[in-house]
Amino acid sequence: MIVRQFINWIRTAPAGERADATRALARAWLISDLSDDDRTAAEGALLMLLDDPSPLVRQAMAEVFARSTEAPAAIVQALSVDQPSIALPVLEHSPLLIDADLVDIVATGSDEMQCAIARRINLPPSVSAAIAEVGSAAAALELIENPYADLPPFSWDRIVERHGHLAAIRESMLQLEDLPSATRMALVAKLSDTLAQFVVARNWLGADRAGRIANEARERSTVNIAAQSFGDDMRGLITHLRATGQLTAGLILRALLSGNLDLFSAALAELSGLPHGRVSALLNDRGGNGLQALLIRAGLPESTYAAFRVALEASHEVGFVDTGDGAARLHRRMVERVLTHCETDRSAAEPLLILLRRFATESAREDARMFCEELVAEDAIAPQPYDDLIAA
């Protein structure tokens, strides 16, 4: 038998020749018309070679069997838990590994092995969830960039929780068009916290001021993200904001003053427990009683009722504000109208006035920035004096 001769020869052959011969035998197993006796003998020889002291031999088997559905299952299983240089092609490509095998290797394998699994085509949710739960940052990055990975929503949040402080993870996730808004918001919160901790550590800002600036940045990002969220995505964002303590009166007022009535009504529906249709009806009650009843049920501070009423009246007049780039921003005229009313209202609370003054400053600076950008754009397309001379 040829296989018997192979076994006798391989005992004394150099490692490189053993690897070449093993590769040939593995290919013969897949494509040659071997008799039953020869196939049994060949499988026995290949199983024996799993104990070969040279990794070159096992690498040769892994290269041949990695993508095959006809490879011996026991050999593929053994190769998948070998040292990384041998296991990687099998982990990334073999169709013979079941989900349970992959989950176990994610839990016990090296970073390289986790990354190989994360690159698999049609990666099932259970394996994706395992990588999100215990995988390294490098494996999480491979998972994010794998268009064939089926990742459950809770796994996105787990990646943010474990690795959201890393810039590479944030950048890769934020480039995904179908990333849930709640997850996008969690990434923004991670970034805000990271930057706040950085400037405090450098003694550039005090902890309180850095925290306030980070909170304002989160609120601006929330309104921007919400401007592109609809249906279940919007509801998921609102649920996330409430669970993380970010669904505050200040954020809801910002949403209204930005013209984002969808975020405003969704927030009130979440806090009041009323259906969206009922909330919309109360908001459209021009008498004002419906809004106050809704604010009371939502548990918002009484000192904010007048600000919400004036802001809602202004929003009915102005409508939704679109900056042209898909992000909602504070509407200066609405903010100034609410601020003027509250400054003449003796019952207005000082914290509300401070918040509205900050909104007024922010909206004024944003208007100035956009005005200057428009001037620069007009200058860029306007004919220069020497162009007129040439044309003449």
The tokens for 267 are 């927030």
Task: Please tell me the least confidently modeled range out of 53-62, 288-297, 320-329, 344-353.
Answer: 320-329
Note the residue count of the chain.
392
- What confidence tens digit (pLDDT) does each residue in 277-326 have? 999 888 887 666 788 899 999 999 999 999 999 999 888 776 554 444 44
Would you say residue 18 lies in a domain? no
Longest dimension (CA), the chain: 103
Residues 277 and 351 in one domain: yes
Residues 349 and 295 in one domain: yes
Residues 201 and 296 in one domain: no
CA distances for 265 relative to 68, 81, 128, 230, 243, angstroms: 55, 54, 35, 12, 18
Per-residue pLDDT at 113: 96
Would you say residue 128 lies in a domain? no
Gap between the Cα atoms of 58 and 68, Å rounded: 16
What is the CA 290 to chain-centroid distance, rounded? 38
Would you say residue 240 lies in a domain? no
Query: CA torsion sign, 168 to 174 to 179 to 181?
Result: positive
Residues 282 and 347 in one domain: yes
Residues 207 and 308 in one domain: no
Q: Which of 229, 263, 286 is the last residue of a domain?
A: 229
Would you say residue 277 lies in a domain? yes
Residues 218 and 267 in one domain: no
Residues 303 and 204 in one domain: no
Would you say residue 17 lies in a domain? no
Residues 188 and 253 in one domain: no
Tally of structural domains, the chain = 2
Section 17-24 average pLDDT: 90
214 is in which domain, residue-wise?
A: 182-229
Residues 312 and 255 in one domain: yes
DSSP, residue by residue, 172-202: HHHT-TT--HHHHHHHHHHHHHHHHHHHHHT
Gap between the Cα atoms of 282 and 179, Å rounded: 32
Rounded to a whole number of angstroms, the distance between the first and last alpha carbons of the chain is 96
- What confidence tens digit (pLDDT) does each residue in 181-235 have? 999 998 888 888 888 888 888 888 888 888 888 888 888 888 888 888 888 889 9
**pTM for this entry:** 0.74
CA distances for 283 relative to 23, 258, 306, angstroms: 74, 16, 14
Residues 319 and 207 in one domain: no
Would you say residue 364 lies in a domain? yes
Section 124-128 average pLDDT: 94
Gap between the Cα atoms of 126 and 330, Å rounded: 43
The tokens for 333 are 């005229």
Residues 262 and 352 in one domain: yes
Would you say residue 34 lies in a domain? no
Nearest to 29 by CA among 17, 44, 16: 44
Gap between the Cα atoms of 184 and 162, Å rounded: 15
Residues 288 and 371 in one domain: yes
Would you say residue 357 lies in a domain? yes
CA atoms within a 13 Å half-sphere pointing along the CA-CB vector of 159: 35
